Amino acid sequence: MMYKKAKAYALISALAVMLYGGGLLLPDAGGDAVAQDKKKDSKAPMEGRKTQALSKRVYELITEANEKVDVEDYAGALVLLEKVKAMPKLTAYENAQLYTFYGFLYFNAEQYDKAIKAYNTVLAQPELPPAIFQQTIRTLSQLAFVTEDYELAIKYANQFMDTVGPEPDMYVIIGTAQYQIVSEKEVVTAADYDKVIKPVEKAIALANERGTSVKEQWWLLLRVGYWEQDNFKKVREILEILVSNWPKKEYWTQLSGIYGELKDENKQLSAYEAAYDQGLLTKSAELVQMAQLFMQAETPYKGARVLEKGFEAEIIERNVRNLRLQSQAWQLAREDRKAIPPLKEAAGMSDDGELFSRLAQSHLNLSEYKSCISASSKAIKKGGLKNKGSTYLIQGMCQFELDKLTEAKASFRQAAKYKKVAKNARSWIDFVESEESRLKQLERSMQMVEDSFQTI
């Protein structure tokens, strides 16, 4: 029961905010009908009706009932309404106020059928003031949503416009109800979503024509309709309006995604960067996505800095994937030395030796031969290498640079066992052997010179 009531309130509150910011209709002892948030509809299109008032006794009882509602004493308010109901010769206006209150109390008791009946009794009263009529129809539309009778919600919206004329809020009710109907269908077509789109577009056009505000939620409903039709150009247009008027993170990131769908990489980056510059990206995945977009746009330095700041702020998780990405960003930015620390950290976390092999290559590029030999040895020991021969080749090259020719030749012989690098490895073996021969020849020559000096 608690879940049902919470769901009902959630539905009715969401619809109220989407449409007009009001709530369920309550009578006002001053003689008018007002929404629960006390905001009146300033428009009264039904002309020619007389201003009506309550009798003194009815006024007193309605006032007291309102006070009971203020302290959530609904049972006490109901007792007072029964006293009003028992009074002889109530006017149509007094009956309208009475049954408006009944409708509100029945809603709070979750007796929705009785609430709907009470509000329909309000509509049946002659000479109904415009404000009460409008709010009653709106309240009935909300109750139709609570009871999930979306066709009835559409009926009330059309009844309103048949009497009052076109209203943006009523078109939005129709669009929202159609969306709920479509959502419950097993097979949905693009034409089904036209039933959502068309009334919402009428609401927006009418609001613009009258110079009244178009609510954020209307655009969101329209966005859903076009999204379900895979009409990404229209979704893009709507999101561009949303970020201009309500620059929220979700709209910037969605707009970036839509630009990506439309293959507009520059705008995809710009939209996401706008969210980043405003400090809206606060999650690890979001910052990593920002860095990746910078790298794809060939601005790896910016990507590396995003990751660096994210690590420093302890927002981005220091895992293998993210550290490797930072290292790649620094390498692409030709900041090889800065690429070393994150790559070394990632290599230590990795289950295989692949990252140690990349680390060895980075050390080789920086002429850090001892570190290169250490990293390549760890890579080979850890295993799981995609190209083990290449790792042996790197190790041999670093050993050669440190004049460790015997070890280098052994590494190159290991590398020669792998087809991809075999030719290169054999060339290195020949080169090492020729170097060994040259050094031996040089050593013999030096020895001969030394011997000649000794015989003088």
Give the residue ranges of DSSP H helices in 147-167. 150-164
pLDDT at 47: 33
Whether residue 450 is contained in a domain is answered as yes
Contact predicate 76/45, CB 8 Å:
no
Residue 244 domain-assigned (yes or no): yes
Q: Which two tokens stand for residue 371?
A: 């570190």
pLDDT tens track, the chain, 456 positions: 333 334 444 444 444 444 444 445 555 544 454 444 433 333 223 233 344 677 888 888 888 888 888 888 888 888 888 888 888 888 888 888 889 888 888 888 888 889 999 999 999 998 888 888 888 998 898 888 888 899 999 999 998 898 889 999 999 999 999 999 998 888 989 999 999 999 999 999 999 999 999 999 999 999 999 999 999 999 999 999 999 999 999 999 999 999 999 999 999 999 999 999 999 999 999 999 999 999 999 999 999 999 999 999 999 999 999 999 999 999 999 998 999 999 999 998 988 899 999 999 999 999 999 999 999 999 999 998 989 999 999 999 999 999 899 999 999 999 999 989 999 999 999 998 888 788 777 766 666 656 566 665
273 occurs within a structural domain: yes
* Residue 436, both tokens: 């060994």
The candidate with the shortest Cα–Cα distance to 424, out of 398, 400, 389, is: 389
The residue to which tokens 């590029």 are assigned: 365
Residue 386 domain flag: yes
Would you say residue 428 lies in a domain?
yes
Residue 2 CB partners (closer than 8 Å, separation 6+): none
**Which residue among 240, 260, 280 closes a domain?**
280
In a domain, 86, yes or no: no
Report strand pairing: 25-27 vs 33-35.
antiparallel
130-146 and 92-108 helices, crossing angle to 10°: 20
CA distance 377 to 353: 9
Please check whether residue 412 is in contact with residue 392, taking contact to mean a CB–CB distance below 8 angstroms: yes
In three-state secondary structure terms, 186 is coil
Closest CA to 197 of 219, 170, 166: 219
What is the distance between the alpha carbons of residues 273 and 269, in angstroms, rounded to a whole number? 6
Residue range of the domain that includes 235? 231-280
Residues 374, 396: Cα–Cα separation, whole Å: 12
End-to-end CA distance of the chain: 116
pTM recorded for the entire structure: 0.74
Last residue in a domain, options 246, 280, 314? 280
Helix/strand/coil for 20: coil
If one counts the domains in the chain, the total is 2
Assigned domain for 208 exists = no
Q: Is residue 267 part of a domain?
A: yes
